[in-house]
Amino acid sequence: MSTTRRLPTPGKATVLALGKAFPSQLIPQDCLVEGFFRDTNCADSAMKEKLARLCKTTTVKTRYTVMSKEILDKYPELAREGSATISQRLTIANEAVTEMAKEASLACFKQWGRPAEDITHVVYVSSSEIRLPGGDLFLASELGLRNDVNRVMLYFLGCYGGVTGLRIAKDIAENNPGSRVLLTTSETTILGFRPPNKSRPYDLVGAALFGDGAAAAIIGADPISGESPFMELSYAVQQFLPGTQNVIDGRLTEEGINFKLGRDLPQKIDDNIEAFCKKLMEKAGKLEDFNDLFWAVHPGGPAILNRLEATLKLKGEKLDCSRRALMDFGNVSSNTIIYVMEYMRDELMNKEKSEEWGLALAFGPGITFEGILLRSLN
C-alpha cells in the first residue's frame, strides 16, 4: 500500500471527494430479458433471443434503474408502441435525477468533511431531463447551498458529459481562488424505455447496456487543512471529429428519445485515439509509453475498450477499473467516468508503487473526444 503522498501543484485543480447514488431497483443482467419482454408485453422470440445474446456480450452483471412496476402500473402507456409519452417521461425523470444527484452530493459532502455552504459553484450534467428552471437550481435548493452559488448546467452531452464537467470544474477552480466546485451528473433511461421493435435495432443494445444513477465530485485548487486531495486535473482537451456528427444520433420525439449508433463508431475512435492521447501526454514531459500511465476510460461498451486496449498495446490490467464499472453499473452515460475514477483511486492507494500520471477519457456525440491528463497524489 502506498504510504507517501505527492504534493499538489499550487493553483492546479484537484479532486477532493467523490460520491455516487442509485435508484433502489437493482437488476441482475441474468434477469433482464424476461423482465423486459414481460414489462413491454412483447412475444417476439427472435428479438428475445437477440437481447439475450447482447446481454452476454456487454459484460454487464448488474444495473440500477428508475423504471419499476409501480411506474408501469401508473403509466402503462410507456410500454405501448406509438404512445405520445414525453410529458409522462419527463415528469418521472425530472424528479428522479434531482433525487439521485442530491444523494450523490450528500455522499460527497460526507467524504469531503466541509459544510454545503462552502460550495461556491455547481456544475450540473444530465441528458435525462428538460425543464426551466433546470435541475441545477432544484439541486442547489435541496442541498441548502447559498443562493449566490454560481451554477452551470450542461445538457444532452451524452457519454462524454462527465469529463466535460470535470474540465469546466477545473477551469472554474483554477480561475477563482478559494472556490470549491460541486460537479454532479445524473442520468436515467426513462426517456428511452420502449417496447422492442425491429425497425429500431439499437433499442435492444440500449436495453442490454445502459443503467441509471448519479455521481458527484468536489473540485478545488490549493487544498486547505482537513481536505484530502487524491488526484490532480493537470490538463484538459476536447476535440470533435469533422464529418462524424451522424455516427451517434439522438432525437427527442413525442415518444421519448431515439438513438442510432453507426457501426463504424469503434473504428472512428480507433483511428484517432493514439494522436489524441499523445497530445495529452506531452504536457507531462517525458511520458512515451502508454503503459506508464493509469487509465480511467468511460466504458461505452466492451468493443470500444477492447479496440482501445489493442490499438495502444495496453497491458491487460490497464482498463480493469473501466471494465469493473461497466460490469457493476452498466453504461450510466455521464456518471460512469466518476465510478471509474473511484475504483482507480482505491487501486492506486493499494499499490506498492503507483503510476503518477494517467488519462481520463470519454467519447460521445460529435464524435467528441474529451480527455484530461491526471496526476495521482497517492
Q: What is the pLDDT of residues 158-190, one digit of tens each?
A: 999 999 999 999 999 999 999 999 999 999 999
Stretch 19-32: mean pLDDT: 96
**Between residues 351 and 130, the one the model is more confident about:** 130
Q: Residue 23: is its pLDDT beyond 90?
A: yes
Alpha carbons 288 and 92: distance in angstroms, whole number: 48
What's residue 3's pLDDT? 54
Residue 43 lies inside a defined structural domain of this protein: yes
What's residue 4's pLDDT? 66
Residue 6 lies inside a defined structural domain of this protein: no
What's residue 258's pLDDT? 86
Task: Indicate if 163 and 304 belong to the same structural domain.
Answer: no
What's residue 286's pLDDT? 80
What's residue 5's pLDDT? 83
Q: What is the mean pLDDT of the chain?
A: 94
Residue 1 lies inside a defined structural domain of this protein: no
In what side-by-side order are the strands of the sheet with 121-126? 150-155, 121-126, 181-187, 213-221, 13-21, 231-240, 368-376, 357-364, 294-297
Task: Indicate if 247 and 290 belong to the same structural domain.
Answer: yes
- Is 159 marked active-site? yes
Stretch 33-38: mean pLDDT: 93
**Which CATH number does the domain housing residue 192 bear?**
3.40.47.10
* Model pLDDT for residues 140-155, shown as the tens digit of each residue: 999 999 999 999 999 9
Task: Indicate if 183 and 280 belong to the same structural domain.
Answer: no
Residue 200 pLDDT grade (very low, low, confident, very high; cuts 50, 70, 90): confident
Task: Indicate if 67 and 211 belong to the same structural domain.
Answer: yes
What's residue 351's pLDDT? 83
All three cell numbers of 71:
411506474
Last residue within a domain, chosen from 221, 256, 278: 221
Residue 100 lies inside a defined structural domain of this protein: yes
Last residue within a domain, chosen from 187, 221, 255: 221
Task: Indicate if 233 and 212 belong to the same structural domain.
Answer: no
Question: Do 130 and 337 contact (CB within 8 A), yes or no?
Answer: no
Residue 203 pLDDT grade (very low, low, confident, very high; cuts 50, 70, 90): confident
Task: Indicate if 99 and 215 belong to the same structural domain.
Answer: yes
The percent of residues above 70 in pLDDT, for the chain, comes to 99
Three-state DSSP string of the chain: CCCCCCCCCCCCEEEEEEEEECCCEEEEHHHHHHHHHHHCCCCCHHHHHHHHHHHHHCCCCEEEECCCHHHHHHCHHHHCCCCCCHHHHHHHHHHHHHHHHHHHHHHHHHHHCCCHHHCCEEEEEECCCCCCCCHHHHHHHHHCCCCCCEEEEEECCHHHHHHHHHHHHHHHHHHCCCCCEEEEEEECHHHHCCCCCCCCCHHHHHHHHECCEEEEEEEEECCCCCCCCCEEEEEEEEEECCCCCCCEEEEEECCEEEEEECCCHHHHHHHHHHHHHHHHHHHHCCCCCHHHCEEEECCCCHHHHHHHHHHCCCCCCCCHHHHHHHHHHCECHHHHHHHHHHHHHHHHHCCCCCCCEEEEEEEECCCEEEEEEEEECC
Q: Residue 1: is its pLDDT beyond 60?
A: no
Provide the 10 A C-beta neighbour count for residue 345. Answer: 19
Task: Indicate if 158 and 27 belong to the same structural domain.
Answer: yes
The percent of residues above 90 in pLDDT, for the chain, comes to 86
Residue 7 lies inside a defined structural domain of this protein: no
Q: Which of 108, 159, 277, 321 is catalytic?
A: 159
Q: Residue 305: is its pLDDT beyond 90?
A: yes
Task: Indicate if 259 and 317 belong to the same structural domain.
Answer: yes
Last residue within a domain, chosen from 201, 221, 241: 221
Task: Indicate if 205 and 249 belong to the same structural domain.
Answer: no
Task: Indicate if 164 and 240 belong to the same structural domain.
Answer: no
Task: Indicate if 147 and 208 belong to the same structural domain.
Answer: yes
Task: Indicate if 199 and 251 belong to the same structural domain.
Answer: no
**Between residues 1 and 249, the one the model is more confident about:** 249
**Between residues 248 and 122, the one the model is more confident about:** 122
Domain range spanning residue 272?
229-376
Q: How many domains does the chain have?
A: 2
